[in-house]
Structure 1
Amino acid sequence: MDEPVTAIVPDVLQDLLQAQLRVVLCGTAASTVSAAAGAYYANKQNKFWKILHETKLIPEPLQPHQYRDLLRHGIGLTDLVKTHFGMDNQIPLTKLDDPRARLSASIAAFRPKFLAFTSKTAGQKFFGGKRDCGGQSERIGDTRVWILPSTSGAANGSWRPEVWHRFADEVRKKT
């Protein structure tokens, strides 16, 4: 009897991780625009790059194609779901056991000071239930965990930059 063949699905965007990061920012999954561009947060309507500069987490504005430059500022990037892309409601979030374990293992291995989910959806799916934005009581090892409001243009109605500013203030205090 033949063994079943399991296809290995490549990551849509490669993780941007290394040791001694201040922050790892984690989305739910790459958007369709980001997948096509091969760069994180590439949709022109997304406020991600603007808020990173506005909060002074990065000293100069960057464009999506410059995402690798975030490492110079102690910031890494990943997504909860690495093998699919699209809007949050298009991602097979019911199959998150492996992504949760993968993310936890990455954070435990690289040990950033902070892990911040860049949407309430990503944070809630990671924790498996309803959560508010802000600092969370749980940690992954010594890594503090935050849930931030989505920077997506599709989430403009729930945009709260003050939470991003509070997060940046905490990062500066602890790093």
Structure 2
Amino acid sequence: MAGPSYSSTSAGNPSKRARFDVDESILLERRLKDSLKPGLDCVIIGINPGLSSAYHGHNYAGHGNHFWKCLHASGIINFKATYQDDDRLIEYGIGFTNIVERTTRGSADLSKNEIKEGAIMLRRKLALYKPKVAVFNGIGIYEVFSGTKNFPLGLQSETLDQTLVFVMPSSSPRSSAYPTAQAKMPFYLALKQLLDSIKADEFNQLDKSKVIFPPKVGNNSNSFISRDGAASSKQNNVLTRKDVGDHESDTDQPIGSHNDTSDTSESTVVLSRYFLDTSDD
């Protein structure tokens, strides 16, 4: 698909340059198909498609996204790939999916109900396809899925049946705590080490300290982001572990630290600051 061409204005806002040569409303109707099959080495999990990926029809197509550069530089794949190669990677044991199928301008446009249903569906997909490793491309994505903010980065103690879980910072260049490809490389190198140990049937001998990272001090902020991007200390309408399909949980611990006091399931979910750093664009 041809790359975007830029016009001087965007619909409804003459002062803002349009990003694409098609109307945004068309992009918002587009979906990305999953790239999955049984027994993959890993599945890369995003939150939902952004406008760039919807435009190109491929994963992580946003300008400057570090995913493809880091994937090659770490040695996980042995060739330089771009977003146009995402379907090809299934031949190399790498699949793609998102928690929510719907395209949005940003993750803050997602509703609580969408994320709740998407997280449940993701658990079903992982149970069906049984990848060796589920890789969450974004800290906030795993917050939503797991229902907790208290976890290291890298390999998690939680497993999903026989699938290991690995969490890394968003590949977006807007990732505030890890804004460069260089800052993210240790996580891709650790993922490579983890995958190599599994392929060699040496996971039990792997030094787990090499693939587990403590979160940066101050990352787990109590500041949340509303629909308009404004920070707020009030954490209403959050999701609990049981909300997102963790039926083994006997707690209604919310994502965040406050109780869910809202019954409006279709209102915009209150998201942590990590969701400003969308993994797609």
For the 8 Å contact 1:35–1:85, the answer to whether it is kept is: no
Which consecutive aligned stretches of 4+ in structure 1 deviate over 4 angstroms post-superposition? none
The equivalent of 2:107 in structure 1 is 88
Percent identity over paired residues: 25
Distance 2:162 2:48 in 1: 25
Please tell me whether Structure 1 or Structure 2 has the larger radius of gyration of its CA atoms: 2
Q: Which residue of 1 aligns with 2:171?
A: 151
- Is the 1:93–1:125 Cα contact (8 Å) retained in structure 2? no
Q: Deviations over 1:10-67 (max 9, x none)?
A: 8721100001200000011112111111110001210000111011111101111221
* 2:100/2:114 contact within 8 Å kept: no
Partner of residue 29 from structure 1, selected from 41, 44, 48:
48
TM-score, normalization by structure 2: 0.56
Consecutive unaligned residues of structure 1, counting only runs of 5 or more, are 1-9
SS at match of 2:63: coil
In 1, the alpha carbon distance for the partners of 2:105 and 2:99 equals 13
Amino acid at match of 1:22: D
Greater helix share, structure number: 1
Could you say which residue in structure 2 is the equivalent of 1:164? 188
1:156 CA displacement? 5.2
Separation (CA, whole Å) in 2 of partners of 1:16 and 1:144:
19
Is 1:41 matched with 2:60?
Answer: yes
Superposition RMSD in Å: 1.9
> How far, CA to CA, are the matches of 1:90 and 1:158 in structure 2?
23
Aligned residues, how many?
A: 167
Q: Give how far 1:145 is off.
A: 0.4
Distance (Å, rounded) in 2 between the aligned partners of 1:132 and 1:86? 29
Per-residue Cα deviation, 1:92-138 (whole angstroms, up to 9, x for no partner) = 35542211111111111111100010000111111112133211111
Amino acid at match of 2:173: G
Residues in 2 aligned to 1:146 and 1:169: alpha-carbon distance in whole angstroms = 12
Whose relative contact order is higher, 1 or 2, with alpha carbons under 8 Å and at least 6 apart? 1
Deviates more, 1:33-42 or 1:150-159: 150-159
Of 129-138 and 58-67, the range deviating more from structure 2: 129-138
* Separation in structure 1 between the aligned mates of residue 172 and residue 113 of structure 2, nearest angstrom: 22
AA partner of residue 83 (structure 2): P
> 2:44, 2:137 within 8 Å by CA — same for their partners in 1?
yes
Work out which of the residue numbers 85, 101, 108 in structure 1 matches 2:120.
Answer: 101
Classify the secondary structure of the residue corresponding to 1:19.
coil
1:128 corresponds in structure 2 to 147
